[in-house]
Amino acid sequence: MKHDLKFVIRFQKATGNFYLVILSVLLFSGKLQSQDQQLIDSLERYLPTVTVDSNKIEVLNELSAQIVDMDPAKAMRYAGDALKLAESINHKRYTATSLHNLGNGHYNLGEYKLALFCYLKAFHIHEALGNKKGLLTASGSIGNVFLDMRQPDQALKYLEQTLVISKELNNKRGMASALLSIGTVYSEKKDYKKALEYSFESLKIFQEINFKEAVATCFNNVADSYHKLKDYPKAMFYVTKAFETYKETGNIYGMALALNNLGDFYTSTGDPEKALTYYTRGLEQAKLIGATDRIVAAYRGISQAYKKMGKYREALNMNEIFQKMNDSIYNTESAKQLAEMQTRFETEKKAKEIDLLTKDKKIKEDELTRQRLIIWTIAIGGVLVLLLALLAIRANGQKRKANRELEVKNKKIETAYNIIEVQHKDIKDSIRYAERLQNAILPTVSFEREFGKNAFVFYKPKDIVSGDFYWLESAVNNAGEKQVLFAAVDCTGHGVPGAFMSIVGHNLLKQAVKEHGKTKPSEILDELNSGLSETLRQKEEDSVVKDGMDMALCALHKKDGKHFLEFSGANNPVWIIRAGSPPMLEEIKGDKFPIGIFIGEKLNQFRCHTTELFPGDTVYIFTDGYADQFGGDKGKKFKYKPIQQLLLSIQERSMPEQKEILDKTILSWMGNLEQVDDILMIGVRIS
């Protein structure tokens, strides 16, 4: 597969003292190349010290541009923060830069429509400002998106504009990027020889300016063209060089792309076993950064490799995963609603057609009667002929009027349907974007950094967005000891209402620890209880918000070489499985009331429980989604006792293996039934 070089806006020169500080950061960070880890580390250390908004925006945007090929989700968070600041100070150029970096993140995740939305907004801002450098970057990126959306003619229009602007500015990097993408256009048009000409011309320029990532992309596209021309030795030579160069620069997205392409080449040359190896490696790399388009391509390739090896069951399983990811644009409930809306429209349309046919039949019968009357009236006399003629004219007018009214009604129905369809799409696009925002607050990376392989987070939302969320924060307690706070939270409801509550809960937790210095679980829940009641105005008589949340909150710390756990719970407990033969399960119950109050109630105080932990002990916290899931032969709830028995039976397994077993068990239990609630379970093993 071809790969299009992103037109990434890199770090621009600033002015004054800020430029001097950044210059020192760059000098002490080692090599000055894209995705240089030392530079990234230096910028991340420098970021908290920046106080001037404009300087902070530039640092955030540079960080986003540097890591977009390694961690696109994190790059989008940096770009999103930069965008908020830029809009708050009404700085158009910074706004366009931030939008472009946000688009790069969506692009790497295969979210092409969202990427195109960001790029087009940036393009129009640069156009209004008369900023040719910005137009160069935006038009190139727009062209690349149209390429990936299989619209080569639209892509060529923007890419040729990019090439013209690059030549006007004497921008070699822009010229080379445009040439490379134009080559991709000709590849889409199946003119592979012309595609090679543009790719080699681009490669020559990128080698001159020593832009290694772009050189790797050129190698990849040259390999693709040779592959299409069935010149497999050259194709293998160039795709191998592409992979080695991507690996040298740390470009994970590029590595996933090249590995999948190696799988394609071995598939074409009749070596499915070797193809399977490369597809599997490509899938692993793509999963590291959540690159949806590369993940989908890997699953498709693995399915084809298994099929050529005669392993049809494995091929079918992989193809089902590929189809599910490729088709999962809306959830089941939304698809059902859309189908119902379409059915209603078709039913109404058929009813109108039947009504129209009935009227036409009646009109024809009236016409026949009129003709008979004319025959009889000729015999009676000329006066009656004139009268019947007038009646005929009147009937014909009524017919035309009825037809016009019917046409107007049909147009109104069609317009209403189109409006509903557009609104439905807008709502789903908004919810999908809300999912990205909600996922951004989940501490997935923090969990991996804090616990490594000694923990898992099993998180399975019911809908696109979730009312369950998990949280982690490091803090120093009153005794000066470092402790790790983590929680499993179940907000009232699920879907969009639950997601709103999860944002409120996340912000209150962060505020209690970071701003108010709370480190004891019971004190944090007390403050959360008070804060939620004030936020939702639950004490006011006219308030209709009667929502809250259940939570299990743990604090792990070490003292004199010993491990201790502090726990507070709102309705939810913590389970501790003590290491031994056999292992034993110990339950510490939370308080029997939620966070949040109703009208007339008093704020309750939460208790704190402390216990010592030993190496090999495992701590579990969870929401009620797993236990309340219906399934099995009788369609009943799973319940808590079987969960305890399951966890005790898998204590010898690693934490990642435990997560996989939990997932397979609940999927098997559900069978063909729908998921009834969000599911969340966290496990941490003491080492």
| Tens digit of each residue's pLDDT (9 = 90 or more) over 232-271 | 888 889 989 888 888 888 888 888 888 988 888 888 888 8
d(CA 370, CA 376): 10
Region 267-284: what's the mean pLDDT?
Answer: 87
pLDDT for 414 equals 67
DSSP-derived letter for residue 557 is E
Distance linking the first and last C-alpha atoms of the chain: 44
Asked whether the beta carbons of 666 and 629 are under 8 A apart, the reply is yes
Between residues 148 and 138, the one the model is more confident about: 138
Asked whether the beta carbons of 666 and 626 are under 8 A apart, the reply is yes
Taken in order 226, 231, 235, 238, is the CA torsion positive or negative? negative
Region 529-558: what's the mean pLDDT?
Answer: 76
Q: How many CB atoms lie within 10 A of CB 13?
A: 8
Asked whether the beta carbons of 220 and 202 are under 8 A apart, the reply is no
d(CA 344, CA 587): 53
Asked whether the beta carbons of 606 and 568 are under 8 A apart, the reply is yes
pLDDT for 625 equals 93
pLDDT for 59 equals 92
- Give the range with max mean pLDDT: 43-52, 65-74, 648-657: 648-657
Q: Where are the domains of the chain?
A: 1-136, 332-436, 442-623+681-685
Region 272-296: what's the mean pLDDT?
Answer: 86
d(CA 374, CA 377): 5
200-238 tens-digit pLDDT: 988 889 988 888 888 888 998 898 889 888 888 888 899
Beta-carbon contacts of 13 under 8 Å, excluding residues fewer than 6 positions away, are: 19
C-alpha distances out from residue 524 to 457, 513, 568, 605, 650, Å: 22, 7, 9, 11, 33
Q: What are phi and psi of 229, to 5 degrees?
A: -85, 0
- Note the Cα 77 to chain centre separation in Å: 12
Asked whether the beta carbons of 497 and 467 are under 8 A apart, the reply is yes
432-474 tens-digit pLDDT: 666 777 777 788 888 999 999 999 999 999 888 888 999 999 9
pTM score, whole prediction: 0.43
d(CA 532, CA 378): 90
pLDDT for 420 equals 62
Beta-carbon contacts of 522 under 8 Å, excluding residues fewer than 6 positions away, are: 568, 605, 606, 607, 608
Across the strands, what pairs with 458? 681
Closest CA to 290 of 81, 107, 488: 107
Go through the chain and tell me how many residues it has.
687
**Range in 18-22, 140-144, 350-354 with the lowest mean pLDDT:** 18-22
Give the percent of the chain with pLDDT over 70: 82
Confidence of residue 652 (pLDDT cuts 50, 70, 90): very high
Residue 345 has pLDDT above 50, yes or no: no
Confidence of residue 147 (pLDDT cuts 50, 70, 90): confident
pLDDT for 533 equals 78
CA angle 113, 35, 59 (to 5 degrees): 80
**Range in 373-377, 421-425, 486-490, 596-600 with the lowest mean pLDDT:** 596-600
Confidence of residue 330 (pLDDT cuts 50, 70, 90): very low
**Range in 31-45, 362-376, 496-510, 598-612 with the lowest mean pLDDT:** 31-45
Residue 536 has pLDDT above 80, yes or no: no
Confidence of residue 640 (pLDDT cuts 50, 70, 90): very high
Beta-carbon contacts of 412 under 8 Å, excluding residues fewer than 6 positions away, are: none
Across the strands, what pairs with 490? 468, 550
Beta-carbon contacts of 630 under 8 Å, excluding residues fewer than 6 positions away, are: 636, 637, 670, 673, 676
Q: Where are the alpha helices (DSSP H) in 601-654?
A: 640-649
pLDDT for 5 equals 52
pLDDT for 426 equals 61
293-311 tens-digit pLDDT: 789 888 998 988 898 888 8
We find that the CATH architecture of domain 442-623+681-685 is 4-Layer Sandwich (3.60)
**Range in 100-104, 256-260, 449-453, 675-679 with the lowest mean pLDDT:** 256-260
Quote the mean pLDDT of the chain.
82
Between residues 648 and 406, the one the model is more confident about: 648
**Range in 11-15, 79-83, 549-553 with the lowest mean pLDDT:** 11-15
Region 270-298: what's the mean pLDDT?
Answer: 86
pLDDT for 358 equals 62
636-672 burial, b at 16+ Cβ within 10 Å, e below that, comes to: ebbebeebeebbeebbeeebeebbebbeebbeebbee
Residue 499 has pLDDT above 50, yes or no: yes
- Give the range with max mean pLDDT: 38-42, 72-76, 351-355, 401-405: 72-76
Structure tokens at 385: 């002929």
d(CA 351, CA 265): 55
* Helix/strand/coil (H/E/C) assignment for every residue in 273-336: HHHHHHHHHHHHHHHHHCCHHHHHHHHHHHHHHHHHCCCHHHHHHHHHHHHHHHHCCCCHHHHH
Q: Which fold has domain 1-136?
A: 1.25.40
Confidence of residue 347 (pLDDT cuts 50, 70, 90): very low
Give the percent of the chain with pLDDT over 90: 35
